[in-house]
Amino acid sequence: MPRLPFRPSPTNRVLRRPFPLVLLLTLLLASLCAQAATVSKKYKLEKNKAVGLDLASGEVRAESVTFEFPSSVLRFETANKARVSVVNSSKSNVRVGLAIALFDADGNLVGAGVGGNKGGRLGAGETEEFSVFFYYVNEKLPDAITFQITMEVR
């Protein structure tokens, strides 16, 4: 008579030795605890001027944002961008992701951009300035009067 797959046997060691199952459950629990913390807030937009932010996820905070419309490098016009200053006051290195959405007076979305760490991490006790570029959809950016910024920290 053939053996059923759920019966313990020397070839089916998962049921005989619980270690692989316990290890799998531990890794699953650890990955759930390492989920990213996301915070978001809406502000009034001021172009070409630093705007103070009150946006924090634990001990990581976005301190200010400066919108550069239009942005330039060596007097050549480049993509519109925002520069966001982020401070990591925690004792561990973190990955930071940023998203900014721009809205006009009627609440219509007129632009969006993303930025963050590009492979590295923001070290404990360090401050870094991230660039968020607004590519492709630029026609109505001058109409923007508010913005929503979202920060994700892992």
Give 61-107 pLDDT, tens digit per residue: 999 999 988 766 667 777 899 999 999 999 999 999 999 999 999 99
> What do you get for the CA distance between the two ends of the chain, in Å?
53
CATH of 37-153, picked from 3.30.70.260, 3.40.50.970, 3.40.50.2000, 2.60.210.10, is 2.60.210.10
The DSSP H or E segment spanning 83 is strand 80-88
Lowest mean pLDDT among 72-76, 114-118, 122-126, 143-147: 72-76
Which residues have CB under 8 Å from 108's CB, separation 6+?
140
Q: What's the rounded Cα separation, in Å, for the pair 130 and 139? A: 24
- Per-residue pLDDT band for 120 (boundaries 50, 70, 90) equals confident
pLDDT at 32: 46
**Range from 55-59, 111-115, 133-137, 147-151 carrying the lowest mean pLDDT:** 133-137
Which alpha helices (H) appear in the chain, and where do they start and end? 13-16, 19-33
Domain definitions of the chain by residue range: 1-35, 37-153
